[in-house]
Amino acid sequence: MNKLRLLGLSLAAGLVMASCGSTQKTAQKTAQDNQEKIGSSVTAPEPLPQKFVSVFKDEDLKNWQHTNPFESHMPGMSTEKAYQELLKDKPADMVIVAVVDAGIDINHPDLQPIIWTNKGEIPNNGIDDDHNGYVDDVHGWNFLGAKDGKMAGPEQLEMTRIVAKYRKQWKGLTLDSIGPEDQPMFKLYQRAEKELAGKLQHLQALKGRYNQFAAMYERAEKSLKEALGTDKLTKEAVKNLKTNDVMVQQAQQMYLSGVGERLKNFKNYIDSQEKYNLNIDFNGRIQGDDPDNINDRNYGNNNVIPPKDDELHGTHVAGIIAQLRHNGIGGDGVADHVLIMPVRAVPDGDEYDKDIALAFRYAVDNGAKVINTSFGKYFSPHKEWVWDAIKYAADHDVLIVNAAGNDGKDMDEFGAKISYPNDGDKQGEEISDNFLNVGAIGPNYGADMVAPFSNYGKETVDVFSPGMKIYATVPFSDFKFLQGTSMASPDVAGVAALIRSRFPELSASEVKHIIMDSGLSPQIMVIKPEEDDYEGEPRLVKFSSLSKSGNMVNVYNAILLAEELSKEKKGK
* Same domain assignment for residues 333 and 220: no
Q: Which pLDDT does position 532 carry in this prediction? A: 75
Average pLDDT score over the chain? 89
Q: Please tell me whether residue 139 adopts helix, strand or coil conformation.
A: coil
What band does 60 get if pLDDT is binned at 50, 70 and 90? confident
Q: Which pLDDT does position 26 carry in this prediction? A: 56
Is the residue at 11 inside a domain?
no
Q: Which pLDDT does position 22 carry in this prediction? A: 52
Which range is least confidently modeled, 74-83, 531-540, 560-569? 531-540
- pLDDT higher for 52 or 42? 52
* Same domain assignment for residues 433 and 320: yes
pLDDT digit string, tens, across residues 452-497: 999 999 999 999 999 999 999 999 999 999 999 999 999 999 999 9
What band does 42 get if pLDDT is binned at 50, 70 and 90? very low
Enumerate residues 6+ apart whose C-beta is below 8 A from 420: 353, 376, 377, 378, 379, 380, 383, 386
Q: Which of 241, 262, 277 is the last residue of a domain?
A: 277
* Same domain assignment for residues 552 and 409: yes
Is the residue at 144 inside a domain?
yes
* Same domain assignment for residues 128 and 218: no
Residue 371 has pLDDT above 70, yes or no: yes
What band does 4 get if pLDDT is binned at 50, 70 and 90? very low
Is the residue at 82 inside a domain?
no
Cα dihedral 547, 549, 550, 555, rounded to 10, equals -110
Q: Which pLDDT does position 10 carry in this prediction? A: 27
Q: What is the mean pLDDT of residues 416-444?
A: 89
* Same domain assignment for residues 340 and 489: yes
Helix axes 313-322, 485-502, angle to 10 degrees: 40
Reply yes or no: is the peptide bond before residue 435 cis, omega within 30 of 0: no
Q: Which pLDDT does position 50 carry in this prediction? A: 37
Which range is least confidently modeled, 17-26, 266-275, 527-536, 548-557? 17-26
User: Residue 367, class by beta-carbon neighbours within 10 Å (0-12 exposed, 13-18 middle, 19+ buried)?
Assistant: middle
Beta strands in 451-510 (DSSP E): 463-466, 470-474, 478-482
- For residues 258 and 242, the answer to whether their CB atoms sit within 8 Å is no
Q: What is the mean pLDDT of residues 407-414?
A: 87
Is the residue at 60 inside a domain?
yes
Q: Which pLDDT does position 55 carry in this prediction? A: 64
Let me know the angle formed at the C-alpha of 360 by 358 and 366, rounded to the nearest 5 degrees.
100
Is the residue at 369 inside a domain?
yes
Q: What is the mean pLDDT of residues 164-192?
A: 96
Is the residue at 13 inside a domain?
no
Is the residue at 33 inside a domain?
yes
Q: Which of 277, 309, 341 is the last residue of a domain?
A: 277
Q: Which pLDDT does position 46 carry in this prediction? A: 35
Instruction: Express as a percent the part of the chain with pLDDT over 90.
Output: 82
**Range with top average pLDDT, 8-17, 73-82, 426-435:** 73-82
* Same domain assignment for residues 401 and 459: yes
Q: Which pLDDT does position 509 carry in this prediction? A: 97
What band does 426 get if pLDDT is binned at 50, 70 and 90? confident
Q: Which pLDDT does position 309 carry in this prediction? A: 84
* Same domain assignment for residues 358 and 473: yes
Q: Which pLDDT does position 538 carry in this prediction? A: 85
Residue (of 310, 221, 313, 316) closest to 269 by Cα position: 310
Q: Which of 259, 277, 295 is the last residue of a domain?
A: 277
Query: What span, in angstroms and rounded, lies between the C-alpha atoms of 81 and 301?
Result: 42
Residue 35 has pLDDT above 90, yes or no: no
* Same domain assignment for residues 272 and 289: no
Q: Which pLDDT does position 572 carry in this prediction? A: 64
Q: What is the mean pLDDT of residues 3-9?
A: 29
* Same domain assignment for residues 189 and 140: no
Q: Which pLDDT does position 45 carry in this prediction? A: 32
Residue (of 351, 411, 384, 336) closest to 94 by Cα position: 336
Reply yes or no: is the peptide bond before residue 421 cis, omega within 30 of 0: yes
Q: Which pLDDT does position 25 carry in this prediction? A: 54
Enumerate residues 6+ apart whose C-beta is below 8 A from 83: none
- Count of domains forming the chain: 2
Is the residue at 10 inside a domain?
no
* Same domain assignment for residues 173 and 120: no
Q: Which domain holds residue 402?
A: 18-68+92-154+284-570
pLDDT digit string, tens, across residues 351-363: 999 999 999 999 9
pLDDT digit string, tens, across residues 280-293: 999 999 999 999 99
* Same domain assignment for residues 97 and 166: no
Q: Which pLDDT does position 149 carry in this prediction? A: 92
Q: Which pLDDT does position 52 carry in this prediction? A: 39
* Same domain assignment for residues 170 and 25: no
